[in-house]
A = this chain, B = another copy of it.
Amino acid sequence: MTRPRGVVVVTGSELVRGERTDRNGPFLAAELLRLGIEPARIAIVGDGAAELEAALREGLEADLCVVSGGLGPTHDDRTVQMLARAAGLELAVDPELEAEIEGFSRRIAERLKRPYGDFAEGVRKQATLPAGALVIGVAGTAPALVLGRNGSAVVVLPGPPPELQRLWPAALESAPVRAVLSRARVPDRRALRFYGASESTVARALAEAGGEADGLTATICAREFEIHVDLVAEKDARESADRLASALRERLGEYLFAEDERPVEALVLDSARELGLTVATAESCTGGLVAARLTSVPGSSDVFRGGIVAYANDVKAAEVGVPEELLARHGAVSPEVAQALAAGARERLGADVGIGVSGIAGPGGGTPEKPVGRVYLHAEGPRSGLARELDLGGDRAAVRARATAAALHLARALLAQIRDKGA
């Protein structure tokens, strides 16, 4: 028995033109996977009628099709109209829905001091539904819909990601979607995350450990030096998954840093919290990204004290206490200055653990001795520290992102060392 097949159709001309990156496709695909439905395709199309209709027609072949966007009041919002055409359904105004949208629109009209007549056509358009569609909620003037068809279902949601995410649970509660979910089998998922091993090393270990089996898929995915191995097991393949995970732990134990999905910044904060330690940063080339990732975690304020972005050299000296003599002798991009930044972060910001970053993000500023991409990292604890030198590829954004990830992993390693050795 195969899992139900899911397709996501995202519409928006700024998305298909690459002017904005779609966030709904990844959200919905991850949701489908979680629910035991195979995300088979994400199609991004503009607001042209023919392209949208073709994408919807293909979506209708899936067990569950989720559509985002194209529900607005204007002529180029065509999702409902094209869905009706693709599904061969009549369109009709839903009087109850029209009254609800009219109420909302009258308030807008009043606020804008415009006659309601200007809105009436758009309201009628937004209250027009394919025969048999259920309204599961409204975002502003845009209705969210579910349509059942011979055991399969189509969900239509508004494009703005917060609205889409707010209305998604109501779609899951609807009868047509529940009918599809009743045929889904939620797989057993295991994540193993490695740091410091290459993708090919992990791939080889996976193959040597037996690799995929019936009902067990293994994907390897590299991001910012982390290698994520994702094992997805059907019910009768759970033992195979256990065996594979054990074998990977044995072969790559030194690189294994997590078996859950917490990002590295959360692991740093959790480790520090368990040890009763606080953290601070002093960054040069990453320009605040390390602090930004640490503070992206809710509740970080009990561990993270603060950070200094020391871009100018005299800021490094005055605010972080990096000795001027050190800057003159070794240069701002040096292991010595990275250590002084980490030590200064501890001292100036009153933290137990300091993270220091200094490097050349490019595109300018490189020398033969210290090329673009050279980064020095230092994590300094109460009684010990760890240092790292990197030569990173890619453009300015890539160098900064990779240096940030590496700095967080260095702090994670230091905290693990403190926990294990008390040092």
Interface residue ranges, A against B (CB under 8 Å):
13-21, 23, 25-31, 33, 39-46, 48, 51, 55, 74, 108, 112, 162, 200, 203, 219, 221, 223, 228, 230, 281, 283, 285-292, 294-296, 298-301, 304-312, 314-315, 318-319, 348-350, 362-364, 393-398, 400
Q: Which chain B residue shows the least CB distance to A394?
A: B162
Q: Is A298 in contact with B394, judged by CB distance below 8 angstroms?
A: no
Q: Which chain B residue shows the least CB distance to A5?
A: B51
Q: Is B312 in contact with A288, judged by CB distance below 8 angstroms?
A: no
Q: Is A292 in contact with B289, judged by CB distance below 8 angstroms?
A: yes
Q: Is A20 in contact with B221, judged by CB distance below 8 angstroms?
A: yes
Q: Is A221 in contact with B315, judged by CB distance below 8 angstroms?
A: no
Q: Is A298 in contact with B42, judged by CB distance below 8 angstroms?
A: no
Q: Of residues A21, A162, A291, A296, which shows the largest number of chain B Cβ atoms within 10 Å of its Cβ?
A: A291
- Assuming the contacts A45-B40, A288-B288, A307-B288, asked whether A315 and B19 have C-beta atoms less than 8 A apart, the reply is no
Q: Is A20 in contact with B162, judged by CB distance below 8 angstroms?
A: no
Q: List 25 A-B contacts (CB under 8 A).
A: A16-B39, A16-B42, A18-B26, A19-B30, A19-B221, A21-B21, A21-B23, A25-B44, A39-B46, A42-B43, A44-B44, A74-B203, A162-B394, A281-B309, A286-B295, A287-B296, A289-B292, A304-B311, A305-B311, A305-B312, A306-B310, A306-B319, A309-B309, A318-B348, A319-B349
CB proximity of A156 to chain B, nearest CB, Å: 19
Question: What residues of chain B lie closer than 8 Å to A396, measured between beta carbons?
Answer: 296, 298
Q: Is B309 in contact with A295, judged by CB distance below 8 angstroms?
A: yes
- Assuming the contacts A30-B19, A41-B55, A221-B20, asked whether A306 and B298 have C-beta atoms less than 8 A apart, the reply is no
Q: Is B13 in contact with A219, judged by CB distance below 8 angstroms?
A: yes
Q: Is B25 in contact with A39, judged by CB distance below 8 angstroms?
A: no
- Assuming the contacts A292-B292, A319-B308, asked whether A30 and B17 have C-beta atoms less than 8 A apart, the reply is yes
From B17, B285, B286, give the contact of A29 (CB < 8 A).
Answer: B17
Question: What residues of chain B lie closer than 8 Å to A295, measured between beta carbons?
Answer: 285-288, 309, 311, 400
Q: Is A44 in contact with B46, judged by CB distance below 8 angstroms?
A: no
CB proximity of A259 to chain B, nearest CB, Å: 16
CB proximity of A105 to chain B, nearest CB, Å: 11
Question: What residues of chain B lie closer than 8 Å to A31, measured between beta carbons?
Answer: 18
CA distance A306 to B396 in the complex (A): 18
Q: Is B41 in contact with A51, judged by CB distance below 8 angstroms?
A: yes
Question: What residues of chain B lie closer than 8 Å to A30, measured between beta carbons?
Answer: 17-19
Q: Of residues A27, A287, A319, A396, which shows the largest number of chain B Cβ atoms within 10 Å of its Cβ?
A: A287
CA distance A98 to B177 in the complex (A): 50
From B21, B29, B298, B395, give the contact of A16 (CB < 8 A).
Answer: B29
Q: Is A315 in contact with B305, judged by CB distance below 8 angstroms?
A: yes
CB proximity of A1 to chain B, nearest CB, Å: 16
